[in-house]
Structure 1
Amino acid sequence: MSTDSSPPLAPWSQMLLSAVNELRALAEEDGAALDSTVQEDLRRLFRAAASLETQLASPALDSHHDQMNSLAAIRGYAEILQEDTAADTTGLGDSLARLLQAVHTAHNGAANPPPPARRTMAAEPGFILAVDDLQENRELVARYLSRSGHLVVTAASGAEALQALATTDVDVVLLDLMMPDMDGREVLRRIKEHPEWRATPVIVISGSQDMDGIIACIEAGADDYLFKPFNPVLLQARIKAGIERKRWHDREEQYRQQLERNEKFIRATFGRYLSDEIVTEILERPEGLELGGDLREVTIMMSDIRGFTTLSEHLAPQQVVAMLNRYLGTMTDIIMTYNGTIDEFIGDAILTVFGAPQRRDDDADRAVRCALAMQDAMATINADNRAAGLPELATGIALNTGSVIAGNIGSERRSKYGFVGHPMNVTSRIEDHCQGGEILISDSTASKLQGTYALSDRRELAIRGIEQSVAVQRIREAGHD
């Protein structure tokens, strides 16, 4: 190396460059005895030393950052070479030790104590993204970490780093701050704002020791901040901790996704037997499974196909099931559209309640609109039946409003969300009087209606098992015949 008319070098610089020259002489003398990997690492070390000498001879405004990059490369390759040539007899080991002592003095400002012995930190292999605009820094980090079993991918810019994150599952990001175009702080901000990347640990590695900048990075979400030239053992420890955090997060995310899948499965499965509201009650409130109930005012709807038993006697079992499933499937969709709670299917009959488990001010109106929609849907059902060579159907629907006990009924081993009370029986008896295509509502339901409907044919029904008669009326939408 030439010093020509350059300004005098600091003592640590003279010591370091002297050690590099000594190492170069040994390498030239014994080059034939060195394997290709060692020779390549030596070339990289000498290249970094040449850059450092240039920086020392013509210091610029950002020379400290550049010097730290060069020192990091010199130290890194010297430690790798020291490990790789531990058993060699060429004298490289002693020369490398002196070089590392010089680097230590340059970085710490004192000749003693000597740099700590290199040791390997056992860690689970991970996928590491090293982001640095300088090729020598990227190559050094890749050499360090690949020796520990990590898979390393590098990025020369912030844009490349974001592209790598978008296409690979990265465990830890090693991020340089001073880069052209998009600097490390902007990359860090984007990582931590991205919903899929924010849990990825980011370790900032920089030659800058500005305390405000360090605090800003930590506040922005950086998991750690290391100075160049970095301590390789410390870096391995940080990476190990980062990989463990990422693994825990990935496992938690898998558990969360599994729970979501399980909940969807529960909703889809039990939604075939219970209303969405009841399933939600069970999933979100553990006490929702406890036996017991409370008094609720509800509007009850009972629908039934007229003469279904007689019709089914003349059909094959497969035809009966197909016809019934077509009918019940259509009716179920309509009932759920109007937020009704299907209590149960009783053969071809459907028992539905409006007002439990969730009460609404328009329970009676929704029950009426639901019944009207069900009767309107019979035209489509019958058209499909005719096309399939099946008989047409007619359904009667009864509506009644009253107070019932709503809750979990049964035993600890077998229970259901159901309804008990006199109004349930009354509704069933009213439904017995319905003709095909007819909707009958009791006065108790009519008095709760807020909308405008056409009521007709008011009459008193003598209900079996009930002393008092029940007043009912036919109902249809206003303006419809």
Structure 2
Amino acid sequence: MIELRALYERDGAGLDEMAREDFGKLFLAADRLENCLGSEQDRDGRHELMNVLAAIRGYAEMLQEDLEGRHPELADSLSRLLKAIQTADAGGESSSRGRSPSVTSEPGFILAVDDRRENRELVARYLSRSGHLVVTAASGEEALHTLEQADVDVVLLDLVMPGMDGREVLRRIKEHEDWRATPVIVISGHQDMEDIIECIEAGADDYLFKPFNPVLLQARIKAGIERKRWHDREELYRQQLERNEKFIRATFGRYLSDEIVTDILERPEGLELGGDLREVTIMMSDIRGFTTLSERLAPDQVVKMLNRYLGSMTDIIMAHQGTIDEFLGDAILAVFGAPLARDDDADRAVRCALAMQAAMADINAQNLAEGLPEVETGIALNTGVVIAGNIGSERRSKYGFVGHPMNVTSRIEDHCAGGETLISRSTLDKLNGHYRVAEPRTLKAKGIDQEVEVYRLQGELA
């Protein structure tokens, strides 16, 4: 070091400002080294010694690289200094002999956390030369604030800091939902195996000793950036899948029930043609006299009135977990019990019908306010065993229902008056709740040999 100082005093005036500044930091670290060597080497003293050696080695290596070929005597003196540092610090991350291999890495956003300004400046200088964008933090609190403000690729973390130390910073990073995938490389003067194990178990991706080998650091940072990029791509892909699934659910949910969409998305075989026998409660409803009403109205009025009615009815049916099979003009066909069967299918169908009839008052109030006519709906409910499944062809199919109970329900609906809900005996027998119904009526339905017993639904008993 004495030789180097003498050469600098002789040739320093010919150096550029950056080199003179680096020599000043190098000599300042050398003075600190003398103080360290003259004090007792406890745990903290050892840590301070590693910091000083890291600073000397770091600035010496950068100066040697910058001065090579221009100031050979200074470069040779720096080379001898580095060999002495390497010999003195056999336990650190030693430099390789001769020219170190270069490490090319995709530029990253690096956060260097260290309470010592000279350490932060040194790391920033090293990594900036390789094209990385480096921000520094002088404390654990400042590091966490930076992570809240920016998407960091790699964190370089010192352990020994006043206030919030590196271990607490590491813990908080790995417990945070948005930060836990960020690689953390601990750079410390502590070389105790317990410290290393503790940090690795806490989630640190690597542990380097001071004074660190810059080439080795570059290699670890490269690996960290690659891991972060892979994670970011996977996260982006996952978000795209979630958006696509939401879009599919929202789009197909306009045509199919939530249960059917879920069955298709989660069980691909749900798209296969075929079906099985299901006991369901079938609902059919339509607006009484709608054909006559539509002939007296303009097309936009018909569409507005129909959409208001169907929109309200759809919300009510889906709220009661019914499956809307199709709309036929003003008519609605819905089923309770498929694709998912529940113990209260019939009860939900009955409560749904009551809610649909109750909603007509609000629909008609809106119609009257816009100069549209009042409307009334008739609803039929019938319970029976049908074939439920995907019906159609490989090119076009639908989840539908086939069976005699479907025809019976249609015939019951034909007999419904405006504002009336008729339920079959088979539905009444399946109810668990208590409801008010009128005296039974017997219907002779066209195309059905047997008479059908129905009841007018009046309400639910408290």
> One fold, TM greater than 0.5?
yes
Corresponding residue of 2:370: 388
Q: Could you tell me how far apart the structure 2 residues matched to 1:89 and 1:64 are?
A: 34
Q: CA deviation at 1:109?
A: 7.4
Q: Could you tell me how far apart the structure 2 residues matched to 1:193 and 1:90 are?
A: 51
In the alignment, structure 1 residue 433 sits paired with structure 2 residue 415:
yes
Q: CA deviation at 1:120?
A: 2.6
- 1:406-429 Cα deviation digits (max 9, x unpaired): 111111111111111111111011
Corresponding residue of 2:268: 286
In the alignment, structure 1 residue 366 sits paired with structure 2 residue 348:
yes
**Which deviates further from its counterpart, 416-425 or 238-247?**
416-425
Q: Percent identity?
A: 75
In the alignment, structure 1 residue 51 sits paired with structure 2 residue 32:
yes
Q: Could you tell me how far apart the structure 1 residues matched to 2:111 and 2:220 are?
A: 14
| CA 1:114–1:242: 2 relative to 1, 3 Å | closer
Structure 2 residue aligned with 1:147, among 114, 126, 129?
A: 129
Equivalent residue of 2:387, what SS? strand
Corresponding residue of 1:403: 385
Q: Could you tell me how far apart the structure 2 residues matched to 1:202 and 1:114 are?
A: 24
1:280-429 aligned at under 5 Å gives the runs 280-429=262-411
- 1:167-207 Cα deviation digits (max 9, x unpaired): 01000000011111111111101000000000000000111
1:52-451 aligned at under 5 Å gives the runs 52-61=33-42, 62-108=44-90, 115-451=97-433
Gaps of 5+ in 1: 1-19
State the AA in 2 paired with 1:37.
M
- 1:116-171 Cα deviation digits (max 9, x unpaired): 42343100000000001111110110000000000000011111110111101000
Corresponding residue of 1:23: 4
State the AA in 2 paired with 1:57.
G
Q: Could you tell me how far apart the structure 1 residues matched to 2:299 and 2:253 are?
A: 26
**Which deviates further from its counterpart, 147-156 or 457-466?**
457-466
Instruction: Assess if the C-alpha contact under 8 Å between 1:458 and 1:473 holds in 2.
Output: yes
Instruction: Assess if the C-alpha contact under 8 Å between 1:26 and 1:90 holds in 2.
Output: no
Instruction: Assess if the C-alpha contact under 8 Å between 1:356 and 1:406 holds in 2.
Output: yes
State the AA in 1 paired with 2:236.
Q
Q: Could you tell me how far apart the structure 2 residues matched to 1:128 and 1:56 are?
A: 33
Instruction: Assess if the C-alpha contact under 8 Å between 2:288 and 2:376 holds in 1.
Output: yes
State the AA in 2 paired with 1:270.
F
RMSD between superposed Cα atoms in Å: 1.4
Corresponding residue of 1:9: none
Structure 1 outlier segments of 4+, above 4 Å: none
Equivalent residue of 1:141, what SS? helix
Q: CA deviation at 1:60?
A: 5.0
State the AA in 2 paired with 1:157.
S
